[in-house]
């Protein structure tokens, strides 16, 4: 495996591209937006600069990583020689199905198709391809270059050979892979999202304020950051999407999104990325401080 194509240059996509390129793979970073590609490459460069300043890598190492990445706005061209494609587009089922139909058509027959989805069924995504045994989930954690875990999700038809190949690749990338089965939310979000949702319910019911809830969880449960701040960092729209997937999948009311979360997303208060969520990030200094916690 030499060439890895990554679909999507956003937060997860550029982090995956960075990680693969740093491990020595040739990476084709693909996004329909030239602006997103430039922003993604700038993020990778900035993250590498921080590693250089901390003497974790050299300037030559940085240039080598950047040289390993080529950008494309055309999927067909970008995946032409890919041994593996990792899709990291928006967490939207219709979009992912559309992408995988195209990947199945454009990729060589032996290309493994992976998705970074954090909640959507791998089996459903694989069903629109002619190679369901070669479709698998690779759920990286954010920020990708730092976080060690990768959830490896087997679809109903994913073969043992493909699973082992991706488990081994994850180790090569410096990650710790954990194999899980294909159920809504997998493991990470099936446990995390109800906790975040209950934290929002606690605020919604007036039990305590934002900072009080986060302080209890940080000091009492030894969490590195409070659940409401974490929800802001993940993106409230992403949290809502994942909860909806689990609610639709299990039909269990415990996964129903809190009305406060629904209204905040409708109002465009999405967290750090929109400048306001449970906390106010409109002051650039404050936003920068929050961001640095994950760099």
261, 240 contact by CB (below 8 A): yes
134, 159 contact by CB (below 8 A): yes
81, 3 contact by CB (below 8 A): yes
Of 151, 170, 199, 241, which residue is the catalytic one? 151
Of 116, 119, 170, 189, which residue is the catalytic one? 189
284 contact partners, CB below 8 Å, separation of at least 6: none
18 is catalytic: no
CA-wise closest residue to 107 among 129, 138, 89, 136: 129
CB atoms within 10 A of CB 81: 14
151 is catalytic: yes
181 is catalytic: no
Residues linked to residue 112 through DSSP beta bridges, in sequence order: 84
Q: Where are the alpha helices (DSSP H) in the chain?
A: 11-22, 34-53, 59-67, 75-78, 93-106, 122-126, 160-172, 188-204, 210-221, 227-234, 236-250, 259-266, 284-292
Of 36, 68, 116, 118, which residue is the catalytic one? 118
CB atoms within 10 A of CB 172: 12
Instruction: Round to whole Å and give the CA distance between 170 and 195.
Output: 28
Of 36, 139, 197, 274, which residue is the catalytic one? 139
Q: Among all residues, which ones are annotated catalytic?
A: 118, 139, 151, 189
């Amino acid at each position: 495996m030499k060439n890895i194509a990554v679909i999507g240059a956003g937060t997860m996509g550029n982090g995956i591209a960075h990680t693969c390129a740093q491990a020595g793979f040739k990476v084709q970073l693909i996004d329909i937006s030239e602006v997103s590609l430039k922003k993604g490459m700038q993020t990778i460069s900035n993250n590498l600069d921080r590693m250089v300043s901390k003497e974790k890598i050299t300037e030559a190492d940085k240039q080598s990583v950047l040289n390993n990445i080529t950008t494309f706005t055309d999927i067909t061209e970008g995946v032409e020689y890919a041994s593996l494609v990792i899709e990291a587009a928006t967490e939207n089922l219709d979009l992912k199905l559309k992408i995988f139909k195209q990947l199945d058509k454009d990729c060589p027959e032996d290309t493994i198709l992976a998705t970074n989805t954090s909640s959507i069924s791998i089996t459903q995504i694989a069903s629109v391809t002619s190679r369901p045994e070669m479709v698998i989930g690779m759920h990286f954690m954010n920020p990708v270059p730092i976080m060690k875990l990768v959830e490896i999700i087997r679809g109903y038809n994913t073969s043992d050979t493909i699973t082992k190949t991706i488990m081994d690749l994850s180790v090569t990338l410096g990650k710790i892979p954990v194999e899980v089965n294909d159920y809504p939310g997998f493991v990470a979000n099936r446990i995390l999202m109800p906790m975040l949702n209950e934290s929002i319910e606690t605020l919604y019911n007036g039990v305590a304020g934002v900072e009080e809830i986060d302080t209890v969880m940080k000091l009492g449960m030894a969490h590195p950051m409070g659940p409401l701040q974490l929800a802001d960092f993940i993106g409230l729209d992403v949290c809502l999407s994942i909860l909806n997937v689990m609610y639709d999948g299990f039909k269990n009311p415990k996964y129903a999104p809190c009305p406060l979360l629904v209204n905040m997303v409708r109002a465009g208060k999405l967290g750090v990325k929109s400048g306001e969520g449970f906390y106010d990030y409109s002051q650039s200094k404050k936003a920068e401080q929050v961001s640095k916690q994950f760099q």
